[in-house]
Amino acid sequence: MSTYDVGVVLDQALALQRAAEAGTTRPMLRGVMFGLLCERDDSDDAMLVRRAAAELGAHVAYVHADLSESSTPGEVQDTARMLGRLYDAVESQGVPPRLIRQIAADADVPVFDGIASSRHPSARLVARLGGDTAPHDNRRFVLQAVLLHSIA
């Protein structure tokens, strides 16, 4: 993320935090179809992304990740094009980085790589939100801000 992006995401996350505290959250991603490409949809990261997107009004669909390092370039390209037709954005969890890059190149929609992971750069922004909000809630607000910045 660039310095500009960090500022935008932090501002959006703070606005989402304040809206949640005031009970005035809005479904800003209503009508958005969000694909969750992963092995297990019950992992903590998958559930966090699902909740963050759904609270913003997005429809989240689990897509089992059948691609592997042995997948042919054609299989990856066909899968990416299908994902791009079905979804407005895709989150990939547990998919090899090389495959994610190929999917992102051919999907024509934003493709995220583990945005709910504690290793993702956006996780470092949580501490900068402050306030009395629980860290896991602040993480959700940061995720929502990333989604809004990238999709809306």
- What is the pLDDT averaged over residues 60-89? 92
**DSSP 8-state secondary structure symbol assigned to residue 150:** H
Q: How confident is the model over 100-123, as pLDDT tens digits?
A: 999 999 999 999 999 999 999 888
pLDDT at position 3: 52
The pTM of this model reads 0.89
pLDDT in tens, 31-57: 999 999 998 889 999 999 999 999 999
The pLDDT assigned to 131 comes to 74
Q: What is the pLDDT of residue 135?
A: 87
User: Rounded to a whole number, what is the distance in angstroms from the first to the last CA of the chain?
Assistant: 17
Distance CA 35, CA 82 (A): 11
Q: Among positive and negative, which fits the CA dihedral 127, 133, 137, 141? A: negative
The three-point CA angle 141-147-152 to 5° equals 125
pLDDT of residue 25 exceeding 60: yes
| DSSP reduced 3-state for 16 | helix
